[in-house]
Amino acid sequence: MSSVFIDLGSRSYTIHIGRGLLASAGQIIKEVYPFISKAMVVTNPTVNSLYGHEVFNSLEEAGITPMLAEIPDGEEYKALSIAEGIYDLAYTAELDRKTPIIALGGGVVGDLAGFAAATYLRGVPFVQIPTTLLAQVDSSVGGKVAVNHPRGKNIIGAFYQPSVVMADLSTLKTLDQREMRAGMSEVIKYGVISDEKFFGWLEKNLERAMEQDSAVMENIVAVSCRIKAGVVQEDETEQGRRAILNFGHTVGHAVESLTGYGVYRHGEAVAVGMAAAARISEKMGLLDSRERQRLERLLNRAGLPVSVPVSLDRKDLISSMRRDKKVISSRLTFVIPEAIGRVRMVRDLDEGLIVSCL
């Protein structure tokens, strides 16, 4: 069992990492909110069937009456219309400003539940119980909550920190290999943006990770959360340094958007974006070809894609990138690696260069 503390003043919180946390969820939440008597659990049918009973029992044992808000499973359902359904249930159940909304699931559940928590009654307490690798190492940490719009990914959202995060590693055992690979993409990202030593460790331990070796997985989640916590503590609302966490996301979000959110998992699209950004950096003379090859080799070993499908129109991709949240004054912004463990922000890249690297 380990923990990571995110120091954000009055918005500080702890990420608990280990096994058996679902059974302790009620007790942990009660320590944060000792006077609550009820909570709303947002989840999807798959996660509910696997873990809902255990979490609900834990809440009840702690004297918390749980209410269920079940949402459809899939990125295509991360929409305002689904958030409105959560509002309806919250209103009917008479949730007040002290009643927490608990996200039990992966990134879609966490983003939706967090968006609902940030906006219902101008903000109610929010708890994250992530059940996928991607959610445990990335989306549950740092307070970004959002829904998608037909014109772009995550363009309706807020910064809203959870009060506590519980990453129960035992939930990873029910993930299929594709979901594990998607999560590993974000793990690899942390090595590239901030920690060459961690990247090298991943090169040595990737197969053990994909086989879900207990010690390896706990280290992966803990180190990833520590790296992200350090960045978020320095720049909570992405005014500067936090933008490095978007490495791979400029191209990745465009790929997701143009394929209707149902073809690529988020981590898969990010892998495509990271490889593209590395090729851009190499062509600019900033990244050594051997470093680019290290990244592509590790992505390939993890079973992740490294190129944009030829079926996607390059002009449409550029157009989608121009609607990215990082665009300022119509200037395309990319996070590109200078070496494994170090990245930089670049703006006003030549479109021809970008297209040649997709």
pLDDT at 63: 96
Contacts 24+ apart (CB under 8 A), 305-311: 305/264, 305/268, 305/271, 305/272, 306/271, 306/272, 306/275, 307/272, 307/275, 307/276, 307/358, 308/251, 308/255, 308/272, 308/276, 308/358
pLDDT at 228: 95
From the CB of residue 290, how many other CB atoms can be counted at a distance below 10 Å? Answer: 9
Catalytic residue among 153, 189, 226, 242: 242
Catalytic residue among 44, 48, 148, 246: 246
In the residue annotation, 246 being an active-site residue is answered as: yes
Q: At residue 329, does pLDDT exceed 60?
A: no
Greater confidence (332 vs 2) lies with 2
Sequence letter at residue 128:
Q
pLDDT at 75: 84
Residue burial 208-224, b: 16+ Cβ < 10 Å; e: rest: ebbeeeeebbbbbbbbb
Q: At residue 351, does pLDDT exceed 90?
A: no
Q: If pLDDT is split at 50, 70 and 90, which confidence band does 352 have?
A: confident
Least confident of 79-83, 344-348, 351-355: 351-355
Q: 3-class SS at 1? A: coil
Q: At residue 200, does pLDDT exceed 90?
A: yes
Least confident of 72-76, 95-99, 292-296: 72-76
In the residue annotation, 149 being an active-site residue is answered as: no
Q: If pLDDT is split at 50, 70 and 90, which confidence band does 328 have?
A: low
pLDDT at 327: 62
Q: 3-class SS at 31? A: helix
pLDDT at 195: 94
| pTM attached to this predicted model | 0.91
Query: What tokens does 260 get?
Result: 């209707």
Mean pLDDT of the chain: 93
Catalytic residue among 238, 268, 291, 296: 238
Residue 241 Cα distances to 128, 193, 230, 232, 235, angstroms = 24, 11, 10, 9, 6
Q: If pLDDT is split at 50, 70 and 90, which confidence band does 74 have?
A: confident
Question: What CATH number does the domain located at 2-174 have?
Answer: 3.40.50.1970
pLDDT at 214: 93
**262 DSSP 8-state letter:** S
Q: Which alpha helices (DSSP H) does 101-213 contain, by range?
A: 107-119, 133-134, 177-194, 196-210
Give percent above pLDDT 70 in the chain: 98
Greater confidence (224 vs 235) lies with 224
Q: At residue 325, does pLDDT exceed 80?
A: no
Residues 6+ apart with CB under 8 A from 93: 38, 40, 67
Q: Name the residue among 5, 53, 249, 22 with its Cα closest to residue 134.
A: 249
Average pLDDT over residues 268-289: 96
In the residue annotation, 94 being an active-site residue is answered as: no
Catalytic residue among 181, 189, 266, 294: 266
Catalytic residue among 186, 282, 291, 296: 186
Catalytic residue among 16, 78, 253, 279: 253
Catalytic residue among 122, 151, 204, 290: 122
pLDDT at 263: 87
pLDDT digits (tens, 9 = 90+) for 331-343: 788 999 999 999 9
Which residues of the chain form CATH 1.20.1090.10?
177-356
Give percent above pLDDT 90 in the chain: 80
In the residue annotation, 228 being an active-site residue is answered as: yes
Which residues of the chain form CATH 3.40.50.1970?
2-174
Query: What tokens does 51 get?
Result: 């873990």
- What superfamily would CATH give domain 177-356? Dehydroquinate synthase-like - alpha domain (1.20.1090.10)
Query: What tokens does 34 get?
Result: 């000792």
In the residue annotation, 173 being an active-site residue is answered as: no
Q: At residue 357, does pLDDT exceed 90?
A: no
Phi then psi for residue 167, to 5 deg, are: -100, 95
In the residue annotation, 238 being an active-site residue is answered as: yes
* Distance separating alpha carbons of residues 295 and 337, to the nearest angstrom: 10
pLDDT digits (tens, 9 = 90+) for 118-148: 999 999 999 999 999 999 999 999 999 999 8
In the residue annotation, 189 being an active-site residue is answered as: no
pLDDT at 274: 97
Q: Of all helices (H) and strands (E), which one includes residue 222?
A: helix 214-234
Q: Of all helices (H) and strands (E), which one includes residue 233?
A: helix 214-234
* Distance separating alpha carbons of residues 181 and 345, to the nearest angstrom: 26
Catalytic residue among 153, 249, 294, 326: 249
Catalytic residue among 189, 226, 228, 294: 228
C-beta of residue 117 within 8 angstroms of C-beta of residue 124: yes
Catalytic residue among 16, 144, 153, 294: 144
Q: At residue 308, does pLDDT exceed 70?
A: yes
* Distance separating alpha carbons of residues 23 and 140, to the nearest angstrom: 19
